[in-house]
């Protein structure tokens, strides 16, 4: 299962277009003090930049204004960029732009988690997510595919048959499944954590980091302990350091790209949810050279909102780069992610 930003949109996470608008606002600068020096309007990012600068100032001749300038450059350029990822990659040699861009991504996605349909209402006595509010999303459909006809003791084997490659920075999948297993099988959080260890989830461009269910010192879903606040500047820096550009994500020595390609080529079925089929992401998944042998595995994909002509181009591009055969490629521009899983529920049944 390959997951893109359109999939997280079902629970109110931003698409790539929405994210770049948020980042443009987050990284705006404003004058401060008697000298009217420009600083980042976002206090948390400004604090993070000052911390980064203090650590570098001892051994590098830099002025913190170069970071503020980078913030404004990113903000000004967002209307022209295909995405924040594209912009950072275009300026991959500029460490200030890379740093500021990654900090903004971390801040915006953490904030989006805290405001999403996945958030845990701290006034909820059960301390869990609102499953009723998520019933029509693909997360719910996916969970039903996992547990259909499956006893608790058989879940590890069922999960071992699934691999998820998500291009999103959020932790919605991990968060949702952890709460869902507890609710469905009436098990403790620690047991749900053990179950998730059998599900392989790849984040080729990094993510906000593990949830506390994996590492006790990790950052809660949405940022703070109450799921409504934000991370500290120290946490924001740590998250940003774990995010990857296009170039970093395809570095064979410092990524899972070889394992990802092996996984997708050996899959019996491939599902694309909310994936934009950007050329560089297709190359990350399949490599730049078309395989010598055709792939017989069927493909089920969303292209929600795209024209029929663009959908046909995507189908051809996918065939050309992957080797999947056209009769086996089912790309639907009339279905949401949840709709696709419902439409092809029998074909996607996990056996």
Q: Sorting pLDDT into bands at 50, 70 and 90, what band is 22?
A: very high
State how many domains the chain has: 1
pTM, to two decimals: 0.92
- The pLDDT of 63-84, averaged and rounded, is 95
Residue 208 counted as domain residue: no
User: How far apart, in whole angstroms, are the C-alpha atoms of residue 294 and residue 325?
Assistant: 7
Residue-level pLDDT at 120: 85
* Cα–Cα distance for residue pair 38/29, rounded to 1 Å: 6
Q: Is residue 48 part of a domain?
A: yes
Please, what is the end-to-end C-alpha distance for the chain in angstroms? 15
Question: Is 213 among the domain residues?
Answer: no
The answer on pLDDT for 34 being more than 90 is: no
**Which residue did the predictor score with more confidence, 114 or 60?**
114
pLDDT at residue number 225: 45
* pLDDT tens-digit map of 237-261: 999 999 998 878 877 777 799 999 9
Q: Which residue's structure tokens are 């893109």?
A: 4
Whether 48 has a pLDDT exceeding 70, the answer reads yes
Sign of CA dihedral 216, 221, 223, 228: negative
Q: Calculate what percentage of the chain has a pLDDT beyond 90.
A: 77
Domain membership of residue 240 (yes or no) is no
Could you read off the pLDDT of 123-175 as tens digits, one per residue?
666 678 999 999 999 999 999 999 999 999 999 999 999 999 999 999 999 99
Helices within 91-201 (DSSP H only) = 95-115, 138-147, 155-159, 172-185, 189-196
Range of the domain at 50: 15-115
Question: Do the domain assignments include residue 332?
Answer: no
Q: Within 10 Å of residue 57's Cβ, how many Cβ atoms?
A: 12
């Amino acid at each position: 299962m390959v997951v893109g930003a359109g999939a997280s949109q079902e629970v109110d996470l931003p698409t790539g277009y929405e994210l770049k608008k948020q980042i443009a606002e987050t990284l705006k600068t404003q004058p401060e003090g008697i000298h009217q020096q420009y600083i980042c309007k976002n206090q948390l990012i400004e604090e993070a930049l000052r911390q980064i600068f203090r650590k570098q100032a001892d051994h590098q001749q830099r002025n913190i204004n170069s970071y503020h300038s980078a913030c404004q450059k990113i903000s000004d350029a967002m209307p022209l960029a295909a995405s924040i990822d594209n912009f950072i990659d275009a300026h991959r040699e500029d460490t200030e732009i890379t740093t500021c861009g990654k900090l903004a991504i971390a801040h915006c996605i953490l904030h989006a988690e805290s405001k999403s349909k996945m958030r845990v209402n701290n006034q909820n006595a059960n301390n869990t997510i609102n499953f009723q509010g998520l019933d029509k999303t693909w997360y719910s459909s996916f969970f039903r595919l996992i547990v259909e006809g499956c006893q608790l003791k058989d879940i590890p084997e069922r999960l071992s048959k699934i691999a998820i490659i998500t291009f999103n920075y959020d932790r919605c999948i991990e968060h949702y499944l952890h709460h869902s297993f507890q609710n469905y099988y009436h098990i403790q959080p620690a047991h749900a954590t053990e179950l998730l260890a059998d599900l392989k989830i790849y984040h080729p461009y990094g993510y906000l980091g593990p949830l506390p269910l994996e590492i006790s010192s990790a950052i809660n879903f949405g940022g703070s302990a109450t799921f409504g606040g934000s991370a500290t500047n120290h946490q924001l820096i740590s998250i940003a350091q774990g995010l990857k550009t296009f170039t970093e994500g395809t570095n064979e020595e410092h990524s899972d790209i070889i394992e990802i390609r092996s996984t997708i080529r050996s899959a019996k079925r491939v599902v694309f949810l909310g994936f934009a089929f950007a050329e560089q992401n297709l190359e990350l998944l399949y490599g730049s050279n078309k395989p010598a042998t055709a792939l017989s595995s069927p493909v089920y994909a969303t292209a929600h909102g795209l024209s029929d002509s663009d959908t046909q181009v995507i189908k051809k591009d996918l065939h050309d780069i992957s080797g999947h055969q056209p009769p086996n490629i089912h790309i639907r521009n009339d279905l949401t992610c949840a709709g696709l899983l419902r439409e092809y529920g029998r074909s996607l049944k996990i056996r």
